[in-house]
Amino acid sequence: MATEKILIVDDDTNICELLRLYLEKEGYSTVIVNDGPGAVTAFQTEQPAITLLDIMLPGLDGWQVCREIRKTSNKPIIMITAKGETFDKVLGLELGADDYIVKPFEAKEVVARVKAVLRRTSASASETIKEVNFDKLSINLTNYELKVNGEQVDTPPKEMELIFHLASNPNRVFTRDQLLDEVWGFDYYGDSRTVDVHVKRLREKLEGVSDKWELKTVWGVGYKFETK
């Protein structure tokens, strides 16, 4: 049975109760908070394995809460967004969220996504060290550490998993759908924007570091980690 703690942040008490029932049925423990400032405090005191974070919150919105959490932690954040608000999804991902769920949602889908994130986290902890190294670049997926010129660069978990996947298969081209399937593990309903946002953030960290490799766009196809 699962024992991980999950922080649920939403000002809709009905949604909180629904998620609590489904998650606790699967063996998770839950902490519920209904406002932004309380979410930041609860994250620091409770140290949850995952945070389910609504965007529209009193006090501090979900974007601000995500920003605060990312100052001190790379633990997974799944943002909950209103249907059709693409801007919210993109901004959440740019701020370091690992996943997003659109309202209205099926509680079973939320549980499945939580399980998938925790599976990846526990698998990386129990397996042999996963690390790839290139000129001026070290990607360690076991410790979730990205180093550029020997200096650690703060990188959210999903970005780490994406760059590790690409760099572990140098010069291989991946379509956006392949990356969604192999890195995220979910059908994102053809929303390739998720991949694009993460690649954009990685490029900001890696652009111009070395002339021996490049995170490259293959127009009309997808992305590859090209070595020279």
Provide the strand spans (E) within the chain: 5-9, 29-33, 50-54, 77-82, 99-103, 131-134, 137-140, 145-148, 151-153, 174-175, 213-218, 222-227
pLDDT tens-place string over residues 22-35:
999 999 999 999 99
Structural domains counted in the chain? 2
Q: What is the mean pLDDT of residues 163-167?
A: 95
Domain termination residue (choose one: 92, 125, 158): 125
Domain termination residue (choose one: 91, 125, 159): 125
Q: Does residue 187 share a domain with residue 221?
A: yes
Percentage of the residues of the chain whose pLDDT score is greater than 70: 90
SS3 82: strand
pLDDT tens-place string over residues 167-210:
999 999 999 988 988 888 765 555 678 899 999 999 999 989 99
Range of the domain at 117: 5-125
Could you tell me if 131 and 167 are in contact, meaning their C-beta atoms sit under 8 angstroms apart?
A: no
Q: Does residue 104 share a domain with residue 140?
A: no
Distance of CA 127 to the CA centre of its chain: 20
Q: Does residue 153 share a domain with residue 98?
A: no
> Which amino acid is located at 162 in the chain?
L
pLDDT tens-place string over residues 106-140:
888 899 888 887 777 665 555 556 889 999 999 99
Find the CATH number of the domain harbouring 57.
3.40.50.2300
Q: What is the mean pLDDT of residues 7-16?
A: 95
**Pairwise CA distance, residues 65 & 95, whole Å:** 10
Whole-number pLDDT of residue 189: 52
